[in-house]
Amino acid sequence: MNDSEIRARAEELRRLLHEHNYRYHVLHAPIITDSEYDALFAELKKLEEEHPELITPDSPTQRVGSDLQEDLPKVRHPAPILSLGNVFSPDEIRAWRERIGRLLPENVRLAYVVEPKFDGLTVVLTYEDGVLAQGATRGNGELGDDITPNVRTVRTIPLRIPVSGNGPAVPHRLVVRGEVIFHKKDFAELNRRMIAEGLPPFANARNTAAGAIKQKDARITAQRPLTAYCYGIVAADGPVPATQWETLAYLRDLGFLTAHDVIRRFDDLEDVIAYVQEFEARRHDLPYEIDGLVIKIDDLATYHDLGVVGKDPRGAVAYKFPAEEATTRLLDVAANVGRTGVLTPTAILEPVFVSGVTVRQASLHNYDLIAQKDIRIGDRVIVKRSGEVIPYVVGPIVAARTGDERPIAPPTTCPACGSPVGRDEGEVAYYCTNPACPERIARNIEYFVSREAMDIEGLGERGVRQLLEQGLIRDEADLFTLTADDLLRLEGFAEKKAQNLLASIRAAKERPLARLIAALGIRGVGSTVAELLARHFHSIDRLAAATEEELQTLEGLGPHTARAIVEWFANPRNRTLIEKLRAAGVRLQEEAAPQPRLSNRLAGLTFVITGTLPTLKRNEATALIEQHGGKVVGSVSKKTSYVVVGDEPGSKLTKAQELGIPLLDEAGLLAMLDDRR
Q: Which is nearer to ligand IVH, 82 or 505 (CB)?
A: 82
Query: CA 20 to CA 303: how far, in whole Å?
Result: 33
Task: Specify the length of the chain in residues.
Answer: 677
**Sheet containing 606-610: which strands, arranged edge to edge?**
631-632, 606-610, 642-645, 663-664
Q: Which is nearer to ligand IVH, 304 or 582 (CB)?
A: 304
Give the three-state DSSP class for 300: helix
Q: Which is nearer to ligand IVH, 84 or 272 (CB)?
A: 84
Q: How far is CA 189 from CA 206, 269, 321, in A?
A: 15, 39, 26
542: left (phi over 0), alpha (psi -120 to 50) or beta: alpha
Please state the separation of Cα 475 from the chain's center in Å: 37
Please state the separation of Cα 48 from the chain's center in Å: 37
Q: Residues 141, 313: contact at Cβ < 8 Å?
A: no
Instruction: Please report how close the Cβ of residue 236 comes to ligand IVH at its closest, in angstroms.
Output: 15
Q: Which is nearer to ligand IVH, 72 or 121 (CB)?
A: 121
Instruction: Please report how close the Cβ of residue 80 comes to ligand IVH at its closest, in angstroms.
Output: 8
Query: CA 112 to CA 319: how far, in whole Å?
Result: 13
> In this structure, which amino acid lies at residue 218?
A
Residues that bind ligand IVH (CB under 6 A): 82-84, 115-118, 122, 179, 231-232, 294, 313, 316, 318
Q: Which is nearer to ligand IVH, 318 or 477 (CB)?
A: 318
Query: CA 59 to CA 14: how far, in whole Å?
Result: 6
Instruction: Please report how close the Cβ of residue 178 comes to ligand IVH at its closest, in angstroms.
Output: 9
Q: How far is CA 565 from CA 142, 546, 557, in A?
A: 68, 9, 11
> CA end-to-end span of the chain, whole Å?
73
Q: Which is nearer to ligand IVH, 181 or 359 (CB)?
A: 181
Q: Which is nearer to ligand IVH, 103 or 484 (CB)?
A: 103
Helices (runs of H) and strands (runs of E) counted in the chain: 24, 26
**Active-site annotation holds for 117:** yes
Q: Which of 117, 214, 320, 652 is catalytic?
A: 117
Instruction: Please report how close the Cβ of residue 68 comes to ligand IVH at its closest, in angstroms.
Output: 15
CA dihedral sign of residues 394, 397, 402, 403: positive
Q: How many CA atoms lie within 13 A of 406 on its CB side?
A: 7
611 membership: H or E segment, kind and range: none
Instruction: Please report how close the Cβ of residue 77 comes to ligand IVH at its closest, in angstroms.
Output: 12
Tell me how crowded residue 36 is: count the other CB atoms within 10 A of its CB: 18
* Residue 522: closest CA among 462, 464, 576, 571: 571
Instruction: Please report how close the Cβ of residue 234 comes to ligand IVH at its closest, in angstroms.
Output: 9
Three-class HEC string of 154-196: CCCCCCECCCCCCCCCCCCEEEEEEEEEEEHHHHHHHHHHHHH
Instruction: Please report how close the Cβ of residue 240 comes to ligand IVH at its closest, in angstroms.
Output: 15
Q: Residues 187, 202: contact at Cβ < 8 Å?
A: yes
Q: Which alpha helices (H) appear in 470-611, and where do they start and end? A: 484-488, 495-508, 513-519, 527-537, 540-544, 548-552, 559-570, 572-583
Would strands 606-610 and 631-632 be described as parallel, antiparallel, or unpaired?
Answer: parallel
Instruction: Please report how close the Cβ of residue 111 comes to ligand IVH at its closest, in angstroms.
Output: 16
Instruction: Please report how close the Cβ of residue 290 comes to ligand IVH at its closest, in angstroms.
Output: 8
Q: Which is nearer to ligand IVH, 288 or 607 (CB)?
A: 288
Q: Which is nearer to ligand IVH, 302 or 610 (CB)?
A: 302
Q: Which is nearer to ligand IVH, 122 or 302 (CB)?
A: 122
Interhelix angle 559-570/572-583, rounded to 10 degrees, is: 70
Query: CA 17 to CA 314: how far, in whole Å?
Result: 25
Query: CA 321 to CA 356: how far, in whole Å?
Result: 11
Q: Which is nearer to ligand IVH, 115 or 289 (CB)?
A: 115
Please state the separation of Cα 12 from the chain's center in Å: 34
Q: Which is nearer to ligand IVH, 179 or 446 (CB)?
A: 179
Would strands 663-664 and 642-645 be described as parallel, antiparallel, or unpaired?
Answer: parallel
Three-class HEC string of 195-256: HHCCCCCCCCHHHHHHHHHCCCCHHHHHCCCEEEEEEEEEEECCCCCCEHHHHHHHHHHHCC
Instruction: Please report how close the Cβ of residue 320 comes to ligand IVH at its closest, in angstroms.
Output: 9
Query: CA 325 to CA 33: how far, in whole Å?
Result: 7
Query: CA 318 to CA 672: how far, in whole Å?
Result: 45
Query: CA 159 to CA 618: how far, in whole Å?
Result: 52
Q: What residues are annotated to the active site?
A: 117
